[in-house]
Amino acid sequence: MNYKGMFSMHGALLRTGKSDEFIAVGETGQPVYKAALQLIAALTRKSPSLVNFLAVPKSNEQGSVIDWYSPVQGDVVPWSSATEAEREVARAQLNHFKTAIAEMSSTLVQAGNKGGQSDQIIFGKLLGLVPHAPADDYVYLIEATRINAQGEAERYTQPILTFWGFVQNEGDRHRDPLYFLTPRVAAPAPSSLPITPVPEAPAVLPFVAEPARPWWRRFWWLLPLLLILALL
């Protein structure tokens, strides 16, 4: 298949980088980025709407430097420059993309297992690794224009992944693709209300019982009366 003719039309250059700056994910020694054009071609046939989420890679002769081009024409908005409202919409679109890719990958692997087609199994697993990307600054939003069903031009935003099929750290291979797009929950701010000190309870002195006095000391005032009675 002539992939050059298929991808001759593309948009702006989004990113350029070296392939060895990251860890390439893959299957049975086959990295995803080495099969990028075949994967894009398969998506173009099966689900054209999904292919627009993937930047088109073009590498130098050595394959060490890769240019990533937008698959659609439009104005480029880096993820860091997008508003939170724009990001929220893009997150929903990318989650739909990720789910659709996972379902397509599972279908291919299951069909390959039933038919004993190892190539189809490998290709299905490679497809499932496509949504991996290094970080959120490798995601771009393209403000594009398309013709709707009524024949009218309308504006839309297309999220696009660059350096897909790559991760930053070895541990990211086993993490959920695009995990970094989930907003982090901020720690609760400390309360600004003044803290009222709890008054200390007064110290309770131990009760010391008064030593018992002899009975005759308690009734000393009766002695004079007894003496008077004795003299009568």
Given a cut of 60, is residue 92 above it in pLDDT? Answer: yes
Mean pLDDT of 170-179: 93
Beta strand segments in the chain, E:
13-18, 23-24, 26-27, 30-31, 56-59, 65-69, 75-78, 139-147, 153-161, 166-167
Separation CA 27–CA 151 (nearest Å): 43
Q: Give the pLDDT score at 214.
A: 53
Average pLDDT over residues 18-28: 95
CA-wise closest residue to 43 among 15, 85, 3: 3
Q: Residue 116 above 80 pLDDT? A: yes
pLDDT at 158 over 60: yes
